[in-house]
Amino acid sequence: MAVDSATLLINRLLDSSDTDGWARDEWLRDVYLRSGEIGYIELPVLMKSGLTAVAIHEPQEASWGYPRDLLTRLDPASHRRLVQVLRSPVGGTILACFPSDRRWVAALQAYRRDSQNPFKSGDIAFVRLFAPTIGRGIATAIARERAISASKASGDPERESGVIVIGGNGQPSLVTPVGEMWIGRIEEAGRERASSIPTAVWAAIAQLKASKQSSETAICQRLYSMD
């Protein structure tokens, strides 16, 4: 998943398995940025803490890659309960963040559904070793893609920015034409429970749901379509 280096929000899907589209939509709608007490599993929290790779397991003591002061913000019993609520896979979850030139450019979630072969500290060490190389490669590929796109005046609304300003009452107070298009897509997705909504849109929605600010909030989110 590509990451906006300013907001640390996911702004597009780069690659994934081809059998769990429903799970990705569910995670973006219902889990991303909404982990509550167990906030140290949120990707922005990991990036702000400078962590390139961690592994989450139901037993807190088997969750690898965390500095002690971050992991112990939650007691082991609460950690176990909340991981169960999130229906985490039995073999654990790896969360990885990839930097390039002192900024975050991408992130990864990898699941293991084999209780006999869970993620271990060696897996975290391996990901950390290659994270900078992976980050530079992804940053180069995205920069090249943007340069090519900028040279083409396609006029395709799916490649344009949409702006939605949300008022303190949670309702849109200003919407650009392209933003209206995305609102329509979101409403349709809510009825069908599956969609082709770009990851950036779901990330912006997740941020709104996670925010507890009561003052008027303005979000100007560059929306990237998924190829």
Parse the chain into domains and list their residue ranges. Answer: 35-150, 157-219
| Residue listed under structure tokens 């609460």 | 78
Strand order in the sheet with 217-219: 172-175, 164-166, 217-219
Q: What is the pLDDT along the chain (227 residues), one digit of tens a residue?
A: 999 998 898 888 888 877 777 777 777 777 777 777 788 888 998 999 999 999 999 999 999 999 988 888 889 999 998 888 877 888 999 999 999 999 999 999 988 888 889 999 999 999 999 999 999 999 999 888 877 776 664 556 566 667 777 666 666 678 888 778 877 777 776 665 545 566 767 777 777 766 654 333 333 333 333 33
Query: Which of these, 133, 127, 1, lies nearest to 65 by C-alpha position?
Result: 127
- The residue type found at 192 is E
Beta-ladder partners of 12: 2
Strand ranges in the chain using DSSP code E only, listed in sequence order? 2-3, 10-12, 53-56, 93-100, 103-111, 164-166, 172-175, 217-219
Q: Does 3.90.1200 match the CATH number of domain 35-150?
A: no
Beta-ladder partners of 167: none
pTM above 0.75, yes or no: no
